[in-house]
Amino acid sequence: MPLPEVLLPENLDDPDVLWNRASVLAVGTAAEVVSAGATVDGDGVRAAGPDGWCRVTLAPDGEAVLSGGGGDASAPALDGLPERLDWDGLRDGLGYVCWYTDGAWHGPGGLDASAGLLTDDDATIAELTDDENGRRAVADVLAKARANTLRPADVTAMLGVLDPDVGADAARTRAALDTAVRTGILAGTRPPLIGAAPRSL
């Protein structure tokens, strides 16, 4: 489905859908099957592409933040952003931000092109592959992550399609699976939440 010409917060999918897309990009980055950087840390998953960067952050009680920047965009006003979702580092290089509370996205304006990395399955898949078999493999992983049925074997199968050399490289495979655990997309794991008490992974 084509993206709206102007992407507004109300056009966004649910936070868990955005998170799964970002997490699969991070898995691909960890396995070195893509050059574009996507990393997971205490502030969520940050993905960088040709149009800038975007980050999705999950919070307790189903809340979330989508932020990003690119080009010469000036920092937006954050009027209405709940204080509990305004953490140290959120404003660094910020070009846009919107937040998910009470079952809906809110924000001061539109999102720039960098958000396209996470706002459409096809865009996420295109960051990982342009091969038809690869596209099917990534789509399968995205679907299983959403259904909370993703297994390590599904991740390694996807990576093997994207880059057959990954299967012979234990370090790349381990890095990808560690990222899948850290992002909580594997069945039986949970994603990190900003503002929640830290836990061991």
Structural domains in the chain (count): 1
The reply to whether 135 falls in a domain is yes
Which structural domain range is residue 75 located in?
A: 9-183
> Comparing C-alpha atoms, which of 15, 129, 127, 126 is closest to residue 66?
15
Please, which pLDDT band fits residue 37 given cuts at 50, 70 and 90? confident
The reply to whether 2 falls in a domain is no
Please, which pLDDT band fits residue 4 given cuts at 50, 70 and 90? low
The reply to whether 86 falls in a domain is yes
Greater confidence (36 vs 77) lies with 77
Q: Is the pLDDT of residue 192 over 50?
A: yes
The reply to whether 192 falls in a domain is no
Please, which pLDDT band fits residue 74 given cuts at 50, 70 and 90? low
Q: Is the pLDDT of residue 1 over 80?
A: no
Q: Is the pLDDT of residue 110 over 90?
A: no
Query: pLDDT, tens digit, for every residue of 43-53?
Result: 999 999 888 89
Question: Could you tell me which residues come within 8 angstroms of residue 6 by beta carbon, excluding any fewer than 6 positions away?
Answer: 110
> What pLDDT is stored for residue 71 in this prediction?
61
The reply to whether 112 falls in a domain is yes
Query: pLDDT, tens digit, for every residue of 115-173?
Result: 988 989 999 999 999 999 999 999 999 999 999 999 999 999 999 999 999 988 999 99
Report yes or no: 115 and 68 within 8 Å, Cβ to Cβ: yes
The reply to whether 196 falls in a domain is no
Greater confidence (176 vs 88) lies with 176
The reply to whether 3 falls in a domain is no
Q: Is the pLDDT of residue 3 over 90?
A: no
- Judging by DSSP bridges, how do beta strands 44-49 and 96-101 pair with one another? unpaired
> What pLDDT is stored for residue 112 in this prediction?
86
How would you write 37-98 as a 3-class SS string?
CEEEECCEEEEEECCEEEEEEECHHHCEEEEEECCCCCCCCCCCCCHHHCCCCCCCCCCEEE
The reply to whether 197 falls in a domain is no
Question: Could you tell me which residues come within 8 angstroms of residue 70 by beta carbon, excluding any fewer than 6 positions away?
Answer: 51, 52, 53, 95, 112, 113, 114
pTM of the model: 0.92
> What pLDDT is stored for residue 7 in this prediction?
84
CA 89 to chain centre: 18
> What pLDDT is stored for residue 9 in this prediction?
93
> What pLDDT is stored for residue 201 in this prediction?
37
Angle at 81 between CA 26 and CA 84, to 5 degrees: 75
